[in-house]
Chain A
Amino acid sequence: MPHSYPALSAEQKKELSDIALRIVAPGKGILAADESVGSMAKRLSQIGVENTEENRRLYRQVLFSADDRVKKCIGGVIFFHETLYQKDDDGVPFVRTIQDKGIVVGIKVDKGVVPLAGTDGETTTQGLDGLSERCAQYKKDGADFAKWRCVLKISERTPSALAILENANVLARYASICQQNGIVPIVEPEILPDGDHDLKRCQYVTEKVLAAVYKALSDHHVYLEGTLLKPNMVTPGHACPIKYSPEEIAMATVTALRRTVPPAVPGVTFLSGGQSEEEASLNLNAINRCPLPRPWALTFSYGRALQASALNAWRGQQDNAGAATEEFIKRAEVNGLAAQGKYEGSGEDGGAAAQSLYIANHAY
């Protein structure tokens, strides 16, 4: 313990901190467009579209061709590896299109979950081998932040101490390696909404998980000011019979964060975890109106909850591309308002926006 061997120079720290602050600038959040090939298969099959590389390119083009209206509400886009090297119909790399809008480019770097032997179906996440070299290359190719998803689940005996410890540790290793390569790590310890547990149980587990994550980050000498957190909101399990209001969800979420996330972390970008588009916006809005003091930005890093309507409007038809892009811009603007507690609600019922996007045991 006695000696400190600084992991980062002052310049490196400043670069990381500046990137993080740009991503979570007031009113801005993240578009998670990093679905793996397997996840895209599920999405595209729902709208009857074949899962080819070209279709995936066309679909991301729908999102990335959004006009300047997204500049004020999108601070970062998370890419999947394949997409990072794709171009639009005019041959312009997607990375450049996004950067030209002043939006920070991010990359998913984990390689999926693997089982933890001796546990009740729990997992850790792999992807550390060669991560440093990959990060260095991604940095050259335009990425300034990364994302790594760990998964925990609530049941009678889970998450176990091992699952919490192991996932916290692997997140900290990932974060440390990213920072060495000038990349801001988004740390994602997702607790799945599967199950019938109530709001309190989710809050308790979330606090335990986040405490372990921040202890691990400290142990691994990670520079918190150059990281972001992507947690689940605190919600009841999907099969829980009790219904809770956005205000209750907000209070439970902000309380859990206040007890575990040091103020040095510049921003918390929530995952949507199967909530409908409207739910995800209403909950984010309530979080930003919560009366408890909140020293970090509280914003979104949404995949499904930003894209569902757009996907549905597109349905693989190029004629629908413009309308689909409009659907995306609409959700982006709504969430930009929610990130400031200024969203007044849609007043609409039904449609893709209200439809639950829950998929059991989601992996993407």
Chain B
Amino acid sequence: EAGSTMGNRLQRIKVENTEENRRQFREILFTVDSSINQSIGGVILFHETLYQKDSQGKLFRNILKEKGIVVGIKNQGGAPLAGTNKETTIGLDGLSERCAQYKKDGVDFGKWRAVLRIDNQCPSHLAIQENANALARYASICQQNGLVPIVEPEVIPDGDHDLEHCQYVTEKVLAAVYKALNDHHVYLEGTLLKPNMVTAGHACTKKYTPEQVAMATVTALHRTVPAAVPGICFLSGGMSEEDATLNLNAINLCPLPKPWKLSFSYGRALQASALAAWGGKAANKKATQEAFMKRALANCQAAKGQYVHTGSSGSASTQSLFTACYTY
């Protein structure tokens, strides 16, 4: 999370958004027991965090590496597309130099989030084309610098559209992304995809089961994502911790052919309970770590289709984490 986004998170638990507070929270997460590496294969860091250390002066990135976890970096940018209905694209200037530096600093993968939204005229053909093209440029540059690009074309859940409409849009977006990746000569076997699950808009009155979400999601993916892509790590996009886990589990149980790994790349849906348990107090470290480990383990099981919902897990895990027009 960028500094400003952490601000939103910390404000919810009434903690001041200082560099030290951000460091403390991340330290608690990163210093959990090494067994976390059974559930977590990679951690995406913000630029500031890549260079922070724990209270003994040890770099976070080294702590993670020693646990066998791959270190990733959020590559950022973002600019409006003129002549559209508030649509955006990403910035690429100086990316190669930044990637080279990150690689030297221990990073092995990058992530770039492109945002598309569903509305009366959106996503427009221009927004789809331009974001797909930019993601492909981004991926190409990453690979030239030895970083695996995570390609994230997020169709945000804002709106009252139904599941079918989200599926339709997601298929169009992903088809454009993979055409662009091909045009830009990107090596698919060295990329990962971070898409939205296919869900109804947040304001849609119709409710869908995890199985319906799973079927719509896997159908969309299997019509657009080549088998050469090794893994798909879903974003949680404002779903509650529990919904994000249940949906991932249903996805892994979906009877359609699934030649890629189907896993998670969760921010809010892995950290909400941990944040609530922490409340900014060092004394709560153990409770924070337990809350985080629990969600990590749950999602590890869901990524194998083996999650068993155990019932009450506290209000934080079922609370919707939706924020309108999310940027982070």
Q: Write the residues of chain A forming the contact surface with B, with a CB cutoff of 8 angstroms.
A: 1-2, 4, 207-208, 211-212, 214-215, 218-219, 224-225, 255, 258-264, 293-295
Specify which of B121, B179, B258 is in contact with A215 (CB 8 Å cutoff): B179
Is B122 in contact with A258, judged by CB distance below 8 angstroms? no
Min Cβ gap A42→B in Å is 36
Min Cβ gap B122→A in Å is 7
Is B121 in contact with A260, judged by CB distance below 8 angstroms? no
Complex CA gap A219/B224 in Å reads 12
Is B224 in contact with A259, judged by CB distance below 8 angstroms? no
Q: Which residues of B contact A258 (CB under 8 A)?
A: 226-228
Complex CA gap A293/B165 in Å reads 31
Is A263 in contact with B172, judged by CB distance below 8 angstroms? no
Q: Which residues of A contact B259 (CB under 8 A)?
A: 263, 293, 295
- Given A215-B176, A260-B182, A263-B257, 15 other A-B residues pairs in contact with their CB atoms under 8 A: A1-B169, A2-B118, A2-B120, A2-B122, A4-B165, A208-B182, A211-B183, A215-B175, A225-B223, A258-B226, A260-B226, A261-B226, A262-B223, A263-B225, A295-B222
Which 4 residue pairs of A and B lie closest in terms of their CB atoms, listed nearest first? A218-B175, A211-B182, A4-B168, A215-B179
* B66 in the interface (beta carbon within 8 A): no
Is B124 in contact with A259, judged by CB distance below 8 angstroms? no
Q: Which residues of A contact B258 (CB under 8 A)?
A: 263
Specify which of A1, A225, A255, A260 is in contact with B128 (CB 8 Å cutoff): A1
Complex CA gap A189/B224 in Å reads 19
Complex CA gap A75/B258 in Å reads 25
Q: Which residues of B contact A214 (CB under 8 A)?
A: 175, 178-179
Complex CA gap A262/B225 in Å reads 6
* B125 in the interface (beta carbon within 8 A): yes
Instruction: Give 21 A-B contacts (CB < 8 Å), ordered by A residue.
Output: A1-B121, A2-B118, A2-B120, A207-B182, A211-B183, A215-B176, A215-B178, A215-B179, A218-B172, A218-B223, A224-B223, A225-B223, A255-B228, A258-B226, A259-B188, A259-B228, A261-B226, A262-B224, A263-B225, A264-B219, A294-B227
Min Cβ gap A324→B in Å is 40
Q: Write the residues of chain B forming the contact surface with A, with a CB cutoff of 8 angstroms.
A: 118-125, 128, 164-165, 168-169, 171-172, 175-176, 178-179, 182-183, 188, 219, 222-228, 257-259
Q: Which residues of A contact B225 (CB under 8 A)?
A: 262-263
Complex CA gap A260/B222 in Å reads 12
Specify which of A208, A212, A263 is in contact with B222 (CB 8 Å cutoff): A263
Complex CA gap A208/B181 in Å reads 11
Complex CA gap A219/B228 in Å reads 22
Q: How many A-B residue pairs have CB under 8 A?
A: 71
Q: Which residues of A contact B168 (CB under 8 A)?
A: 4
Chain B residue, CB-CB nearest to A294: B227
Is A295 in contact with B175, judged by CB distance below 8 angstroms? no
Is A211 in contact with B179, judged by CB distance below 8 angstroms? yes
Q: Which residues of A contact B182 (CB under 8 A)?
A: 207-208, 211, 259-260
Complex CA gap A294/B226 in Å reads 11
Min Cβ gap A5→B in Å is 10
Min Cβ gap B173→A in Å is 10
Complex CA gap A207/B119 in Å reads 34
Specify which of B172, B219, B227 is in contact with A1 (CB 8 Å cutoff): B172
Min Cβ gap A154→B in Å is 17
Min Cβ gap A228→B in Å is 15
Is A262 in contact with B122, judged by CB distance below 8 angstroms? no
Known: A211-B179, A211-B182, A214-B175. A295 touches B227 (CB 8 A): yes
Chain B residue, CB-CB nearest to A204: B185
Q: Which residues of B contact A293 (CB under 8 A)?
A: 227, 259
Complex CA gap A219/B175 in Å reads 8
Q: Which residues of A contact B124 (CB under 8 A)?
A: 1
Complex CA gap A262/B174 in Å reads 11
Chain B residue, CB-CB nearest to A208: B182
Complex CA gap A90/B172 in Å reads 52
Q: Which residues of B contact A211 (CB under 8 A)?
A: 178-179, 182-183
Complex CA gap A255/B227 in Å reads 9
Is A262 in contact with B172, judged by CB distance below 8 angstroms? no
Q: Which residues of A contact B183 (CB under 8 A)?
A: 211
Complex CA gap A219/B122 in Å reads 16
Min Cβ gap B212→A in Å is 15
Is B222 in contact with A1, judged by CB distance below 8 angstroms? no
Is A4 in contact with B164, judged by CB distance below 8 angstroms? yes
Q: Which residues of B contact A264 (CB under 8 A)?
A: 219, 222-223
Is B226 in contact with A1, judged by CB distance below 8 angstroms? no
Complex CA gap A2/B118 in Å reads 8
Chain B residue, CB-CB nearest to A222: B223
Is A2 in contact with B121, judged by CB distance below 8 angstroms? yes
Q: Which of A218, A263, A294 has the most CB of B within 10 A?
A: A263
Complex CA gap A212/B257 in Å reads 23
Q: Which residues of B contact A262 (CB under 8 A)?
A: 222-226
Q: Which residues of B contact A4 (CB under 8 A)?
A: 164-165, 168
Complex CA gap A4/B178 in Å reads 21
Q: Which residues of A contact B228 (CB under 8 A)?
A: 255, 258-259
Complex CA gap A4/B121 in Å reads 12
Known: A208-B182, A211-B179, A295-B257. A218 touches B227 (CB 8 A): no
Chain B residue, CB-CB nearest to A210: B182
Q: Which residues of B contact A263 (CB under 8 A)?
A: 222, 225, 227, 257-259
Complex CA gap A260/B122 in Å reads 27
Chain A residue, CB-CB nearest to B186: A259
Q: Which residues of A contact B223 (CB under 8 A)?
A: 218, 224-225, 262, 264
Q: Which residues of B contact A215 (CB under 8 A)?
A: 175-176, 178-179
Q: Which of A2, A4, A225, A258 has the most CB of B within 10 A?
A: A2
Q: Which residues of A contact B188 (CB under 8 A)?
A: 259
Is B171 in contact with A218, judged by CB distance below 8 angstroms? yes
